Amino acid sequence: MSNAASDYSLAELMICANAAIYENDGEVLVTGIGVLPRIAASLAMKTCNTEIMMTDSESWMLAEPNPLGPRPADFVQQNENWMGFARIFENVWSGRRHITGGPTQLDRFGQSNISAIGGTHQQPKVQMLGARGFPGNSISHLNSFLVPAHSTRVFVEGECDFVCTIGYNPERLPRGYSMDDIGLRHIITDLCVMDFGGPDHQVRVVSLHPGITAEQVQENTGFALAWADDVVTTAAPTAEQLSIIAAMDPHNQRSKQLRDNPPGDRS
Amino acid sequence: MKDKTMTATDVVAQLESGMTLGIGGWGPRRKPMALVREILRSDLTDLTVVAYGGPDVGMLCAAGKVKKLIFAFVTLDFIPLEPYFRQARQAGAIDVMEIDEGMMMLGLRAAAMGAPFIPTRVGLGTDVIRFSKDLALIDSPYDDKEWVAMPALKLDAALIHVDRASSRGVCQIKGPDHYMDDSFARAADATYVSCDELVDNSYFADESEARFVFWERAVTTGVVHIPGGAHPSSCNPLYGFDVPHFQEYNASAKDGGFASYADKYINGKSEDEYREAVGGLDAIRALPLPVY
């Protein structure tokens, strides 16, 4: 990529990697859940896919993404249409959406968990959010994930404790469905970018972040990974991308998302 | 002409232990908290609660009012994990039917239209189906796929908070989203609404006001005028949610328990006394709106 910046944070690298996945999605609602995915969605809408639709995370569709955090008193939100939660579900079920969510667990089938950990369903050891809209997202439209701390705690050895999203698990494939009906796309972590392009949709590493080794990625993953024929280094942000990121995140919330806010290049 | 105004005590007198209650709002947003507090002061128990859960669910769980919860999430938004819901779940104290957010809307709509279920793809391949014994998979007469039959979520009563209402039961939600409150109201045998402002019916003569009425008055059973009645949840645009109050509530789960919170704000107190204890109506109405 031209004009690659030399000084950028890991958070900014992950934002750019996350934004790139939306390039060929066309006119879909993109929802980035959490700070880094939201900045990434905004960056994509302003660069690689200007057809993207986005909401204000409350009840309006926007022509221009809102910057994160408190905004100046004279800020005018650029609404396109009302988009309350009932209408969000209508959009979800139409399939015209791609989300990036943050799972607590993600297994070798691409099944994810944000609901509860350990114990039983009657009495979980740790109750989290609940399944929220994840089941509907996973069967209806494109789904990607951003994992801030790539570890075997997230990328679990077995199945997720509570499977919130359908994945490429032959035992759970509904009757009448093929694996190709399930739209899992990318996983962006603090170590690498992965997709589901391995044999039988196996999780596959496509790029390593600067200074990260293949061994590090595999050691921190609870299941065997596939590897792209030509694993590349994740593209560094451009100066233009960094400038848009700074405008979308004026309070620098991105600097607080990863422990110690590491630099993008760790070599 | 019917006058549907009543008190919160009247509402709770219409409810019975063992009922299925739907509660409007979303997380910490526009919850009928004054009506919930009145339930907390009552001897109602063994409730089945259907809600996009926030402090309503947390408090009802903490007070031992809930037998079964039908939910997709319970959250305070800026405090992602509702402390008393967590405690109840981690103690195995409540039965649950955990579903997807959209499935809940479908279940309410099925109830509203008198259908036993609505077919959907949502839930396929997930543990929502594995753990919810009430969810059946069915064949379709029109294709060869399997479908989730989301059952009707019939409610004995719905509790909802709105910006303003008339004594006839015309209810207006002026905030950015009415969430699924219309579906809750239509899914219920009786719908009880608390309102921040009680207005004359002619208030809605203006089209721009009538557009924010999401169900017709025959759906409304009772209207309770409780200014600030959503506190500590928000009633945007009238007021935001009370961040310091929620922080205190959240902290009580670690230190003192729900009894300490309830003794300070709810037990033995009227709603007027509650309002004064949290700083008065002017303070509530001055709570800043959240920025998302």
Q: Per-residue pLDDT tens for B152-162?
A: 999 999 999 99
Residue B109 lies in a domain: no
Q: What residues does each domain of chain A span?
A: 10-146+157-187+237-255
* Per-residue pLDDT band at B236 (split at 50, 70, 90): very high
pLDDT above 90: residue A2: no
* Total domains in the fold of chain B: 1
* Per-residue pLDDT band at A1 (split at 50, 70, 90): very low
The beta-carbon neighbor of A131 closest among B81, B98, B146 is B98
Distance CA B29, CA B146 (A): 36
Distance CA A83, CA A112 (A): 26
**Using CB atoms and an 8 Å cut-off, which of residues 85-114 of chain B contact chain A?**
85-86, 89-92, 95-96, 98-103, 105
pLDDT in tens, B76-110: 999 999 999 999 999 999 999 999 999 999 999 99
Judged by a CB distance cut-off of 8 A, whether residue A139 touches chain B is yes
Interface contacts (A, B; CB < 8 Å): 146
Overall average pLDDT of the B188-212 stretch:
98
Residue B48 lies in a domain: yes
pLDDT above 80: residue B17: yes
Residue B225's beta-bridge partner residues? B195
Side-chain-side CA neighbours of residue B178 (13 Å) = 18
Judged by a CB distance cut-off of 8 A, whether residue B146 touches chain A is yes
The residue range of the domain holding B24 is 8-98+154-274
Beta carbons of A175 and B146 less than 8 Å apart = yes
Report pLDDT for A4: 85
Residue B181 lies in a domain: yes
* Per-residue pLDDT band at B133 (split at 50, 70, 90): confident
Residue B261 lies in a domain: yes
Mean pLDDT for chain A?
97
Judged by a CB distance cut-off of 8 A, whether residue A169 touches chain B is yes
Question: From start to end of chain A, where are the E strands?
Answer: 29-32, 54-55, 60-62, 79-82, 97-101, 105-106, 112-113, 116-119, 124-127, 142-147, 184-189, 192-195, 204-208, 226-233
Topology of the domain covering A10-146+157-187+237-255: Glutaconate Coenzyme A-transferase (3.40.1080)
Rounded to the nearest angstrom, the minimum Cα separation between B132 and chain A is 10
- Check which CATH number belongs to the domain holding B90 and give it: 3.40.1080.10
Which residues on B lie below 8 Å from A118 (Cβ)?
A: none
As a whole-number percent, the residues of chain B with pLDDT over 90 amount to: 98
Of A33, A192, A163, the closest CA to residue A98 belongs to: A33
Residue tagged 């075997």 (tokens): A152
Which residues on A lie below 8 Å from B98 (Cβ)?
A: 115, 121, 130-131
Distance CA A218, CA B190 (A): 57
- A59: helix, strand or coil: coil
Distance CA A23, CA A26 (A): 7
Residue B267 lies in a domain: yes
